[in-house]
Structure 1
Amino acid sequence: MTSRSPLSATILRSPQARSDGPLRDCQDSRRSVPLTPTPSHTEARRRERHLLTHRVTLIPGDGIGPEVVEAARSVVDATGVEVRWDVEEIGLRAFERTGEVLPARAVSSIRENGVALKGPIETPEGAGIRSANLVLRKELDLFANVRPCRWYPGVPSLYEDVDLVVIRENTEDVYTGVEFEVGTVEVKELIAFIEETTGIRIRQDSGISVKAISQEGSERIVRFAFDETRRRGRSKVTAAHKANIMKFSDGLFLDVARRIAAQYPDVVFDDRIIDALCMELVQSPQRFDVLVLPNLYGDIVSELGAGLIGGPGVAPGVQLGDDVAVFEATHGTAPPLAGRDQADPVGLMLSAAMMVRHLGDLEAGDR
């Protein structure tokens, strides 16, 4: 069984180019293409680009979102790829205009088009939901968050030899939203149940969040990571966990990862305890190729990876489901910078380049 990913990759490089580290190129695409396009193929793609119009949902977002989104949109338009933009609102601006932070019309647009380019969004108080981003992921089943972390020459950073991909499970773990507030009847009953069934006493003044990791969710993301490693021409997958302590949740994730790894003999597999992984990433990030992690660890390590290459302003990302891809800014709304023309749009521009490759135009994506 192979995971269904709308994001595949073809590496355009010679066999010796693997040692080039951060200078090697990764082309993201839905379908296979020749490693070296022939003139006839290239000409056919140019003709197709003029004939084919892609529908893409455009979410300007909040804060600096409209500024960086407009910059990314102009870059896509400049490639010559025909895109019909369906502009929709999600977040604070949507809430102010419609009373809904996640309008059904916007969600339907993303689902119907299958592709979106999204700026950062804010979930206002009083919206009735914890996070519009979390709800969007659940609504569209965006189970995989892919964050390439590659250093580009000229970007200020303490590191230069960085070229890795963080693949984060996006729907489970402590982000399910199942929590019990301190002092409530429900949390007191839960504390009593835990003590009765395990003998472990939890302080009465505790708040509790549930960490849920399933076999199905773990298998889906791990298989996706191995398939993506093959498509990107990479060679190793590292699974991160805390299975030495959380044996029934992280332990399950690790067991599934080891079982799936045995089905990919051409891909090297290893694992790291999450705290050790963070230390090694800071010491020598070049050791790692593709990382696959449960939700919380993936959230943290994605930001660590962005820090290695110059910050979230230059870090692209995409959230993927079986039939939907949302390419997005990986940074926040930064309200103090809004309207001042000081926000760095490079990260979202790189996400837009990933989107263009995903739409099938590798040449335009590389430009």
Structure 2
Amino acid sequence: MKAYKLGVLQGDGIGPEIVSATVKVFKAAAQELNVKFDWTELPMGWEGIEKYNDPTPRYTKEMLNDCDGWILGPHDSAAYPPEHKAKRNPSGELRHTLDLYANIRPAKTMPGAKSVVGEADLIIYRENTEGFYTDRNMHIGGGEWQITPEVVVSAGVFTKKAAERIAHAAFKMAMQRRKKVTIVHKANVIKLGTGLFLNTCKEVAQQYPEVTVDDYHIDAMTAHLVRRARDFDIIVTENMFGDILSDLAGELVGSLGLAPSINTNENQAMAQAAHGSAPDIAGKNIANPIGIMLSTVMLMDWLSERHHDAKLHQVGQLVEEGINSCLKAGTMTGDLGGSASTSEFAEAIIARIGELAVK
């Protein structure tokens, strides 16, 4: 039986609490289904600075190349020493150096979460390596120039290759769902950059004739999400717009603290919750771990497809059912109106997993 090697990067702030809770839950599900994981802890964030004087140590990146996938906890790069704050943050560094070009962020209503848009179930496919995020689209240098104390120029990079591959990823998923893709851009103003993105996505769309395609400007799209989120299925967009839209969508369907994501290429995948490190509640054992847990569910699905191993999908499904069962029963953390601590919530999920596995 293959043992899947999974990296564990706990990160900063609430990271160690929510990542540890996640690993415990997935260990329980894996045991029930006789799936073997080799959990490998690797330094990142403050731990990396303390051990290697680097928030994303070379050692960690080299070890990740030997992993089937990994969990990335949140980082608190805003608090790092100036010499590290000036570099790419750990998330951006891993996305860039490992070319994890697809950031996939679902937004789906859940039991116990107060959605302000009713029922919704959509996925945002965000191009993850270029656009206006200058720390990710330069081989060397930051991609910003301060011409005078009063003038700054920031570069945005758009390539046909990047647009093609994220578009294909989005359309392939659409074929498995409701066969609808929405392209989000700003081609009326950023005519060359996002115009290239829009036109390339439309070219890719011709290879998927069963999929219905529409497109919206980013500013209009924010209003459409608020008014009719349920109408959207797959949204594909460039880096910065995807970052903004996914945070909005996560909050609309319940809470950004519930929002999962994975970062992928053809060979690697990184589970990463959409929220930050919440240093104000770090160490209090009150953080909601659902975001990183559902991100790991997504990782299980990715691994299942890549390795043609249905049991990995079953592990993820068992955890997701355990989470939903707890929420329906009113067992939840304080941010959702409950009273469970992070560790208590994890233990409740583990108990539900045991009950579900017997059934």
**Structure 2-normalised TM-score?**
0.80
2:53 is aligned, of 89, 99, 116, to 99
1:181 is aligned, of 146, 154, 161, to 146
Segments of 5+ residues of structure 2 without an aligned counterpart are 136-142, 305-311, 319-359
Q: Which has the larger radius of gyration?
A: 1
Q: What is the CA distance between 1:142 and its match in structure 2?
A: 0.5
RCO comparison, higher one (Cα < 8 Å, 6+) = 1
Retained in 2: the 8 A contact 1:59–1:88? Answer: yes
Segments of 5+ residues of structure 1 without an aligned counterpart are 1-50, 185-204
Q: State the one-letter code of the partner of 2:179.
A: S
Taking only the aligned residue pairs, the percentage that are identical comes to 35
Retained in 1: the 8 A contact 2:118–2:230? Answer: no
Q: Does 1:61 align with 2:11?
A: yes
- 1:1-367 aligned within 5 A: 51-79=1-29, 80=31, 81-123=35-77, 124=80, 125-127=82-84, 128-177=86-135, 178-183=143-148, 205-230=150-175, 232-360=176-304, 361-367=312-318
Cα distance in 2, alignment partners of residues 359 and 216 from structure 1: 25
Q: State the one-letter code of the partner of 2:49.
A: F
Retained in 2: the 8 A contact 1:222–1:292? Answer: yes
Q: What whole-Å deviation, never above 9, does each CA across 1:319-351 have from its counterpart, x for those lacking one?
A: 001211001121111111110011000111111
Q: List structure 1 runs of 4+ shifted beyond 6 angstroms.
A: none
Retained in 2: the 8 A contact 1:162–1:308? Answer: no
Q: What is the CA distance between 1:168 and its match in structure 2?
A: 0.1
Q: What whole-Å deviation, never above 9, does each CA across 1:44-94 have from its counterpart, x for those lacking one?
A: xxxxxxx23110010011000000001110111011232111100111221
Retained in 2: the 8 A contact 1:76–1:356? Answer: no
Cα distance in 1, alignment partners of residues 158 and 314 from structure 2: 39
- SS of the residue corresponding to residue 238 of structure 1 reads strand
Q: What is the CA distance between 1:182 and its match in structure 2?
A: 4.3
Number of aligned residue pairs: 296
Retained in 2: the 8 A contact 1:151–1:310? Answer: yes
Residue equivalent to 2:309: none
Cα distance in 2, alignment partners of residues 268 and 224 from structure 1: 15
- Taking only aligned residues, the RMSD between alpha carbons, in angstroms, comes to 1.3
Q: What is the CA distance between 1:155 and its match in structure 2?
A: 1.0
Q: What whole-Å deviation, never above 9, does each CA across 1:10-33 have from its counterpart, x for those lacking one?
A: xxxxxxxxxxxxxxxxxxxxxxxx
Q: State the one-letter code of the partner of 2:162.
A: G
Cα distance in 2, alignment partners of residues 278 and 55 from structure 1: 39
Cα distance in 2, alignment partners of residues 131 and 275 from structure 1: 28
Cα distance in 1, alignment partners of residues 90 and 25 from structure 2: 27
Cα distance in 2, alignment partners of residues 93 and 182 from structure 1: 36
Cα distance in 1, alignment partners of residues 160 and 11 from structure 2: 34
Q: State the one-letter code of the partner of 1:107.
A: K
Cα distance in 2, alignment partners of residues 359 and 257 from structure 1: 26
Q: What is the CA distance between 1:138 and its match in structure 2?
A: 1.0
Q: What whole-Å deviation, never above 9, does each CA across 1:180-228 have from its counterpart, x for those lacking one?
A: 02427xxxxxxxxxxxxxxxxxxxx221101111111111111111112
